[in-house]
Amino acid sequence: MKRILCITGTRADFGKLKPLLAYIENHPDLELHLIVTGMHMMKTYGRTYKEVTRENYQHTYLFSNQIQGEPMGAVLGNTITLISRLSDEIEPDMVMIHGDRLEALAGATVGALSSRLVCHIEGGELSGTVDDSIRHSISKLSHIHLVANEQAVTRLVQMGEKRKHIHIIGSPDLDVMASSTLPSLEEVKEYYGLPYENYGISMFHPVTTEAHLMPQYAAQYFKALELSGQNIISIYPNNDTGTESILQELLKYQSDKFIAFPSIRFEYFLVLLKHAKFMVGNSSAGIREAPLYGVPSINVGTRQSNRHMGKSIIHTDYETKNIFDAIQQACSLGKFEADDTFNGGDTRTSTERFAEVINNPETWNVSAQKRFIDLNL
């Protein structure tokens, strides 16, 4: 029996991990241990740990790692301590983390320093912010890489990672997007009390390196949404530095045409996204999920500036007029063909490709002592 310790800190990473967590949980030779922390535990963001516990995983651990407004460095220290103590009790064979969040960095640090295999999902990606540095740091602490596509493979190889330890599985949330068990739009609208026939979705997060400018950017952004005259479903920003100014501005604009939620269940969010006129903001969902549904998206500012930009994505700066114009353009475009860039060009599901890796004995024989692989320069 192999024990896998997984960590989720946000509504977003849990949604992406769910298909893989279900596979591990139901595998006769694997034992899932899931740490739930970060934004999941915070009242401001809807206490989304309830969404995790609803899945009834056999081994789930709820940990609060921060108080509102606590510096990120302190939160990282708290999280490392929590994960380290639990890891010593569980003695996992593998620590599995996702993305570029602080909780993933803490998990990778604990795993690497305790000589446990670390498996990183969706390394090798680019954004345009400090998140890049965190994601790449996690990759350097990891032994096994499960990536979305060939571009991610190339970047990890450039970083000195061994090619045979990098596996393309696509983006796991695409399995959820293609699921036949998603609720209907009518169910979702009834659950959240949404009256709109037509609407756009807004997700605007802080950019840590631009935190001092977030009050100005947020004011310009939400003013543009108001001026557009469109019905807007908005989701609260994440808890990175600068979030308070965004949330303060967002709450000013709540009205019959602007409804805000601390969080929306991942499957319900996907249904709303699929039927939206457009998506606007700086979330990766506008770069990944929206194009797969053919929904036009407006990418605002620098947070995703180095990501793949498909033809359905309109890029703009933080100026109110430019955001307004981009919304008008998106509304005139209609739906696009699906863009599956983040599926790795494979017809198999992400879960099927994950299973191939996790069931391969060679995966478990990877040495905890990493070696830097030089390119032939």
14-25 pLDDT, tens digit per residue, is 999 999 999 999
Query: What are the percentages of helix, strand and coil residues in the chain, rounded to 5?
Result: 45, 15, 40
Taking the C-alpha atoms of residue 70 and residue 241, their distance in angstroms, rounded to an integer, is 9
Q: For residue 311, what pLDDT band results from cuts at 50, 70 and 90?
A: confident
Are residues 287 and 297 in contact, defined by beta-carbon separation less than 8 angstroms? yes
pLDDT value at residue 303? 87
Q: Does pLDDT of 305 surpass 80? A: no
- Residue of 149, 129, 158 lying closest to 139 (CA atoms): 158
Taking the C-alpha atoms of residue 338 and residue 164, their distance in angstroms, rounded to an integer, is 30
- Residue of 293, 265, 292, 295 lying closest to 281 (CA atoms): 295
> What's the rounded mean pLDDT across residues 216-227?
98
Q: Does pLDDT of 377 surpass 80? A: no
Catalytic residue among 212, 275, 308, 315: 212
50-82 pLDDT, tens digit per residue, is 999 999 999 999 999 998 889 999 999 999 999
- Is residue 212 among the annotated active site residues? yes
Taking the C-alpha atoms of residue 17 and residue 175, their distance in angstroms, rounded to an integer, is 10
Cα 60 off chain centre by:
20
Taking the C-alpha atoms of residue 116 and residue 246, their distance in angstroms, rounded to an integer, is 39
Q: Does pLDDT of 340 surpass 70? A: no
Task: Please tell me the pTM assigned to this model.
Answer: 0.90
Per DSSP, the three-state class of 121 is strand
Are residues 235 and 202 in contact, defined by beta-carbon separation less than 8 angstroms? yes
pLDDT value at residue 363? 98
- Domains delineated in the chain: 2-170+344-364 (3.40.50.2000), 185-333 (3.40.50.2000)
- Residue of 108, 103, 282 lying closest to 201 (CA atoms): 282
pLDDT value at residue 132? 86
| Rg of the chain over all Cα atoms, to the nearest angstrom | 20
* Look-up of token digits 């860039």: 341
pLDDT value at residue 126? 86
Q: What Cα–Cα distance (Å) separates residue 111 from each residue in 44, 185, 202, 215?
A: 30, 41, 36, 37
Q: Does pLDDT of 285 surpass 60? A: yes
Q: For residue 343, what pLDDT band results from cuts at 50, 70 and 90?
A: low
> Which tokens belong to 337?
């063909």
Taking the C-alpha atoms of residue 181 and residue 69, their distance in angstroms, rounded to an integer, is 38
Q: Does pLDDT of 213 surpass 80? A: yes
pLDDT value at residue 42? 94
Q: Where are the extended beta strands (E) located within the chain?
A: 2-8, 30-36, 60-62, 94-98, 117-121, 144-147, 166-168, 200-203, 232-235, 258-261, 278-281, 297-300, 313-316
Taking the C-alpha atoms of residue 176 and residue 19, their distance in angstroms, rounded to an integer, is 7
145-178 pLDDT, tens digit per residue, is 999 999 999 999 999 999 999 999 998 988 999 8
> Which tokens belong to 329?
């353009």
Q: For residue 359, what pLDDT band results from cuts at 50, 70 and 90?
A: very high
Q: Name the amino acid, one letter, at 49.
A: Y
